[in-house]
Amino acid sequence: MERVVITGLGAITPIGNDAKSYWDNLLNGVSGADKITRFDTTKFKTDFACEIKNYDSLNYFDRKESRKLDRFNQYGLIASDEAIKDAGLIFDKLDTDRIGVIFSSGIGGFETIEHDIMEFSQNHFNPRFNPFFITKIIANSVAGYLSIKYGLHGVNTCTVTACSSSTNGLVQAFNYIKWGKADIIIAGGSEAPINQSAVGGFNAMKALSTNNENYKTASRPFDISRDGFVLGEGAGALVVESLQSALKRNAKIYAEIIGGGETADAYHITNTHPEGKGAYLAMKEALREGKIEPSELDYINAHATSTGPGDVSETKAIEKLFGENLGNINISGTKSMTGHLLGGTGAIEAIATCFSTQTDLIPPTINTKVIDGAISPELNLTLEKKIGKSVNFALSNNFGFGGHCAAVLFKKYNR
């Protein structure tokens, strides 16, 4: 089996429009929440979200190209281009038959779907659709665009598992490379769901926070007063590479992937298993594959969406798996800063976990003041301030509607 490493990172997020800015703002506990600017929220229960700041598509694409791309396409391409440059990939010097793309989205071109259907109805159902309507909305289009742009002929696919999409995709990229079926894979996820349909739909499910008066601190994982997640947008991309390929290129290495778990709650289409069954099994499998004991883990970047059942079930799974070692593991819920990027969330949180293993710094969980009594007081939730700590092994967890559960295990890179 090949060893698998991360050699490039790229991100565009509500708290930073590149990977380094995103990481710095995570460490500084910056909230990305603000009032929604995309549409009139007067009639909606929630009027805030974590939008990307100072974004102009024409800073990245020419006008003609921009019109062919949904916002989620744009974010995915921007993050991937950064990761590719960060990794120093020169495709003319590489075997592109062995380079692939696994790029995920939970929903795809949500903004385009809403816009074009509204226009269709307002124009008396006259079917004058944009010729790029289909390619703008399909979730796999970022993967396709990347392979075409760079001439990459290896595996090309898109994992769609709701909020665990890009974590599942990262585990699958790890598998392809460890099995020797690819040398390099661009893995990541993108989402652009801040629109009327998404806010209205999640409000109807009672999944979104409606704390409009305290929107900056509304995403408060584990807190007794949490009332739902805060919607976010953006993308993350990681260059996943065999160690042999990375050493041959003399590439910098952020971290090594040593294990992945993909499981199911098999319980409910939206609610998590009350005891975190799928989460427990995913983390357990990642550790088993990575050949480490629970006592060796240093850090967990938790799914921690700030929903009532979700936070409790994940912490129960952590408590069950790590038992007496709970106090030695730092946990942080970085969605307290970025909001929830749905299918893109696993990618940006994997980036944060890579940075933690590289820098020995752990970002905080912000906004959390009074821990829910259903959550073990033994958990170290890294509240309010970053900490410095040796991070040799770290997990990144993500779970999605449908009961999808995924965990990826990173290790500090040592030759």
Catalytic option among 303, 354, 404, 405: 303
How far, in Å, CA of 46 to CA of 223, rounded?
19
Residues 158, 340, 354, 405: which is the catalytic one? Answer: 340
One DSSP character per residue, 22-53 reads: HHHHHHTT----EE--SS--TTSS--EEBPPS
Quick one: CA dihedral 35, 210, 374, 410, positive or negative? negative
d(CA 390, CA 373): 30
**Cβ neighbours, 10 Å, residue 171:** 27
Specify burial of residue 406 (Cβ count, 10 A radius: 0-12, 13-18, 19+). buried
Encoded tokens for 135: 């390619």
Q: How far apart (Å, rounded) are the C-alpha atoms in residues 272 and 314?
A: 9
- How far apart are alpha carbons 337 and 342 in whole angstroms? 14
Residue 374 CA to residue 308 CA, distance in Å, equals: 10
d(CA 208, CA 185): 34
Q: Is 115 a catalytic residue?
A: no
The question of whether 303 is a catalytic residue gets the answer yes
405 annotated active-site: no
Active-site residue identified among 50, 115, 158, 163: 163
Catalytic annotation, residues: 163, 303, 340
